[in-house]
Structure 1
Amino acid sequence: MIEVLLVLIVTALATSLLGVFLVLRSLAMTTDAISHTILLGIVLAFFITNDLRSPWLILGASIAGVLTVYIIEVLSKTRLIRPDASIGIVFTALFAAAIILISKYAADVHLDTGIVLMGEVIFAPFTRTEIFSWSIPSALLQMSIILLINLLFIIIFYKELKVSSFDPKFAFIAGFSTTLIYYILMTLVSVTAVTAFDAVGSILVINFFVAPALTAYLLVKRLATMIWCSMLFAVINSVSGYFIGITYDLSIAGVTSFVAFITFIIVFLLNPNGFVSRKIRSLNQKREFNRAMILMLMNEESHQSLTKSEIISHFHFNAGKFDKHMKYLIFNNYVTRTNEHYTLTELGEEYTHYTREKYDLPV
C-alpha cells in the first residue's frame, strides 16, 4: 500500500507547484473549467486511438485545455459578458458534451463517469510499468515525470512567472512574453490534470491544485517560501488523507481533499492575520480604549474621584464590564479604591499622557 501513498504524494506535489501561480493570478476558477473540459479531449482522443493508455489522450486533453482558455479569453475580451460568466458557459458546455459522449459511446469501457469525476488512487498499483527490471505503478511513473516537468518549468521561468504574476503590466513593459508564459502554464495544468485523473478525478483535482497554495498564501509573502509551504501542505494533506482513508475505509482522494480544506480553515482562523487573531486584536483594542477613556475621565479635575455608578452612567457599562475594567486598572496600579471612590494614581496619570500622545488626542 506504500505505492498508493507515493502516487498520492507525487500527484499532490505536481499539482501544488502550479497551484501557487494559479492562486496568485486569480485563475482558480479557470482551473475548474480546464479540469472539466479536458475530459472532452480525452474522449475524442480515445475514439481515435481506442486505447486508454495512449499518449494521444494527454495531447487531446492539452489541446482541449488550451482551447478552453482561449475561448474564455475571447469571450471575456468582447466585454459583452463578465469573465466568470465566460468560464461558466464554456466549461459546462464542453464538459456536458464529454459526458454525453461517454454515456452514449463509452459506457462499456473503463472511461466511465464515476472514475473520471471522483478517481480512485487505491487502484493505481494495478496498472504497472517495467523500468530497468523494476515494476512500478504506471501512475507513479507518469506523475513523477509531470512533477519533474513542472519543477523545471518553474526553475527555468521563475523570474518571468514572478514578475507576470505580481505585476503583469511591468512584465509586458519589460519585454516578458506574458502570453507565452500564460499558455505554457495552462498547458501544464491541462497535462497535470489529465495525468492525475486516475488518482483523484476531475473534480477533486481542483482541490489538489488550489488548497495547498491558498493555505500557504495565508502564511507567507515571499514567492519562494510560498512554493515550499504549498508543497509541505500537499504532503501533510496526502499523508493524513491516506491514513484516515485506509483506517476508516473511505475514498483516499476524497479524504485528502477534505483534510486540505480543514487545514486551510485552521490556518485561515488561527494564522497571525486570520479571523480569530483579528477578532482577538479588535477586542483587546476595544478594552484598551475603554480603559484609556476611564483614566482620561478621572484625569479631569472635576472627576478625580468617582464612584462606580458615576463611571457606569458616563460610559453606559454594565456591572460586569465595569468590574473587569476596574480590576485590571487596580491590579496594574493605575487606579486606587478608597471606600466607594476610585482615584487615579501617579502611574495612571503617566499612562493617560502616554495614551493622549499615542492617539494624538487633545489635552
Structure 2
Amino acid sequence: MTYTAWIIFTAALVGLSCGIIGVFLILRKTAMMADAISHTVLLGIVIAFIVTREVSGTAMLIGGILAGVLTAFLVQWLHTLQVQHDAAMGIVFTTLFAIGVILIATSAGNAHLDVQHALMGEITFIPFHTISLPFIGEIPEATALLLFVLAIVLFFIIAFYKEWKITSFDPALAASLGIPVLLMHYLFMGLVSVTTVASFDAVGAIMVVAMLITPAASAYLWTDKLSVMMIVSGSFGVISAIAGYYIAEWIDTSISGSMAFATGLVFLISFLFSPKHGLISKQVRVAKDV
C-alpha cells in the first residue's frame, strides 16, 4: 500500500476498535472513563519504558493495561468510600497522568516520548516503522498491533456477548444469574486499556477519547439494537478516520485533530437527521401530526 493508504488504514483500525468498545462505555454510562484511561495509560507506558528502554512492544501493552485496570480499581475503591463517581475519576485521572508527565520529564526525556506526542500522537511516522510478518510481508508495526488488538476485542465481545449485554443493561439481574459482574467490569476495562494503548502511539489521547465516545454516541441515535449499534459505531469510526485525513490534507493541519473533529461532524449529522431521535426528524413528525 502507499504511504497515505497505510495512514488511513491505521486510523480506520483505531476507529473500528474504539467504535465497537465505545458502545458499551455509552450503555454503561461510563463514557468519561475512556478519557481517564486514555490519559492514565501514559503512566504505564512510561514505567514500561523505564524498565525496558523501548518505546514499543509487549511491555508497553502490558504496562498500559495494568495502568488502565489500576485506574478502574482506584475509581471503584474511592466510590465505595462515598466519593462521587465523577469526582473519583477526576482525582485518579489527574493524579496518575501527572505522575506520568513527571516521569517523562525526569526519566524519559531523551526518548521519542513527550507530552505533545502523548496527546496528539504522530500518525505520519507510522509507515516508517515496519515489521515483517509471514504471508503478509512488510507492515507498519503500529498497524500490526492494531490488527492484533482488533482480533482480541472481537473475540471477547463475541465470546461474552450475552454477559456484556446483561451486565450493561441490568447488573443486578446479571448478579442474580451468577454472572461475575465485577470481574466482567475489570475485563472490560482491560479491553478499553489495550485498545487505548494500541492506538496511543499513532493518534494520541485526544483522538482515542473522540473515537471511543463520539461514534458510539452517534450510533445510539440511529438504532436501539445492540448488535446493529456496534456495527454502526465501528463504521462511523472508520468514516471519521477517512474524512478526517482528507480534512487535514485540505487545510494542512493535525491529522489526529482533524479525525477527532470529523467524529463531531458525524455526531452533528446524527443529532439532526437520525430517523428516531434526530432534531429535524422530530420536527417533521410534529408538523405531520399537526
Normalised by the shorter chain, which TM-score bucket?
Answer: over 0.9
The residue number in structure 2 matching 1:62 is 65
Question: Residue in 1 aligned with 2:124?
Answer: 122
Aligned to 2:36: 33
User: SS of the counterpart of 1:19?
Assistant: helix
Residue matched to 1:293: none
Q: Partner residue of 1:221?
A: 224
Check the 8 A contact 1:120/1:251 in 2, yes or no.
Answer: no
Amino acid at match of 2:125: F
Secondary structure at the aligned position of 2:55 is classed as coil
**Structure 1 position 198 matched with structure 2 position 201:** yes
Q: 2:5 aligns with which of 2, 17, 22?
A: 2
Per-residue Cα deviation, 1:242-275 (whole angstroms, up to 9, x for no partner): 2222233222221111011011011112223222
- Hey, what's the Cα distance between the residues in 2 that align with 1:43 and 1:156? 32
The one-letter amino acid of 1:156's match is A
Per-residue deviation at 1:54? 3.4
Pairwise CA distance, 1:40: 0.6
5 Å-filtered alignment, 1:179-328, equals 179-272=182-275, 273-282=277-286, 288=290
Instruction: Look up the match of 1:321.
Output: none
CA distance in structure 2 between the aligned counterparts of 1:178 and 1:115, rounded to whole angstroms: 36
- For the pair shown, the structure with the greater C-alpha radius of gyration is 1
By how many angstroms is 1:281 displaced? 4.3
Q: Distance in 2 between matches of 1:108 and 1:117?
A: 18
TM-score normalized by structure 1?
0.76
User: In structure 2, the residue corresponding to 1:22 is in which secondary structure?
Assistant: helix
Distance in 1 between the 2:57 and 2:142 partners?
A: 13
In structure 2, the partner of 1:100 is: 102
Q: Deviations over 1:96-153 (max 9, x none)?
A: 1111111222222101111111112111101100113711100110000000100011
Higher RCO, 1 vs 2 (CA within 8 Å, ≥6 residues apart) = 2
Q: In the TM superposition, what whole-angstrom CA distance separates every residue of 1:169-194 from its partner, at most 9, and x where no partner exists?
A: 11111111111211111011111111
- What are the superposed Cα offsets for residues 300-327 of structure 1, whole Å, 9 maximum, x if unpaired? xxxxxxxxxxxxxxxxxxxxxxxxxxxx
Paired with 1:76 and 1:280, the residues of 2 have a C-alpha distance of 44
Q: Which amino acid aligns with 1:243?
A: Y
Rounded to whole Å, the distance in 1 between the matches of 2:165 and 2:57 is: 35
Match of 2:160 in 1: 157
Check whether the contact 2:15–2:236 (CA below 8 A) recurs between aligned residues.
no
Q: How many pairs does the alignment contain?
A: 285
Question: Aligned to 2:204, what secondary structure does the other structure show?
Answer: helix
Q: Indicate whether 1:53 and 2:56 are aligned.
A: yes
3-state SS, counterpart of residue 250 of structure 1: coil
Describe the SS at the equivalent of 2:178.
Answer: coil
- Percent identity over the alignment? 41
Q: Deviations over 1:31-80 (max 9, x none)?
A: 1111111111111111111111231121111111101100100111121x
Which of these residues, 119, 123, 141, is aligned with residue 138 of structure 1? Answer: 141
CA contact (8 A) 2:28 2:168 kept: yes
Matched residue of 2:110: which SS?
coil
* TM-score normalized with structure 2 length: 0.94
| Partner AA of 1:92 in structure 2 | T
Q: Is the counterpart of residue 21 in structure 1 residue 50 in structure 2?
A: no
Quote the RMSD (CA, aligned, Å): 1.4
Match of 1:91 in 2: 93
